[in-house]
């Protein structure tokens, strides 16, 4: 099964799939509204605004797996995203990125890219470990705002650690290369 065939649900409840975005470059991000990394929504919105016209999509997947930082209902999540960050990119329903209930999308993403590219000089993993929150397995999603870049052909090109911000040159360079 390709990424395009995995059943998804939009935040509003309608069935969906990545097949709707076939031929575009995709940045898939597990998001949360009560996380220290939540301000990355602003950067994701800026990326979307900058590259949407070139065949790029940011796709957000709310996830409550990390310290319960996305407890909201679909309506609360939608309101939060629009009110605080002017989010126009697609937001899907909550799913599990880790654990026994890991969504098939994340099973496929992780199988394709088992290890995230770390932020140069980043301290997030060390901080998580200090608090007993480090991933159980190095292939697990480390925290909210981990990013997967998918090429126009549906291939998972890269995976970026949560503290790699949307404007990080490594991420922007990978997006521009995929769009070229």
35 annotated active-site: yes
**Conformation bin of residue 111: beta by default, left when phi > 0, alpha when psi is -120 to 50:** alpha
Name the pairing type of β-strands 56-62 and 25-31.
parallel
* Per-residue pLDDT, 136: 81
Location of structure tokens 């629009």: 82
Catalytic residue, from 8, 35, 156, 164: name it.
35
Residues 6+ apart with CB under 8 A from 17: 4, 5, 6, 7, 8
* Per-residue pLDDT, 127: 84
Q: Virtual CA dihedral for 135, 92, 169, 67, nearest 10 degrees? A: -30
Q: Which fold has domain 3-179?
A: Glutaredoxin (3.40.30)
* Per-residue pLDDT, 120: 83
* Per-residue pLDDT, 161: 92
The full length of the chain comes to: 180
Q: What is the DSSP letter of 54?
A: G
pTM: 0.94
Positions of the chain with pLDDT under 50: none
* Per-residue pLDDT, 53: 96
* Per-residue pLDDT, 128: 78
* Per-residue pLDDT, 178: 98
Q: Which residues pair with 59 in a beta bridge?
A: 28
* Per-residue pLDDT, 174: 97
CA nearest neighbour of 159 among 177, 174, 169: 174
């Amino acid at each position: 099964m390709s990424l395009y065939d995995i059943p998804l649900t939009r935040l509003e409840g309608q069935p969906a799939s990545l097949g709707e975005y076939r031929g575009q470059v995709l940045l898939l991000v597990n998001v949360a509204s009560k996380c220290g990394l939540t301000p990355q929504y602003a950067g994701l919105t800026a990326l979307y605004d900058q590259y949407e016209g070139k065949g790029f999509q940011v796709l957000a997947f709310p996830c409550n797996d990390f310290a319960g930082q996305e407890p909201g209902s679909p309506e609360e999540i939608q309101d939060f995203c629009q009110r605080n960050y002017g989010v126009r990119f697609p937001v899907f329903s909550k799913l599990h990125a880790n654990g026994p209930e890991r969504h098939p999308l994340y099973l496929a993403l992780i199988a394709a890219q088992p290890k995230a590219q770390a932020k140069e000089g980043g301290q997030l993993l060390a901080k998580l470990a200090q608090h007993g929150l480090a991933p159980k397995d190095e292939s697990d999603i480390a925290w909210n705002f981990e990013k997967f870049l998918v090429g126009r052909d549906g291939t998972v090109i890269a995976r970026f650690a949560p503290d790699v911000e949307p404007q990080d040159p490594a991420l922007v360079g990978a997006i521009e290369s995929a769009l070229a």
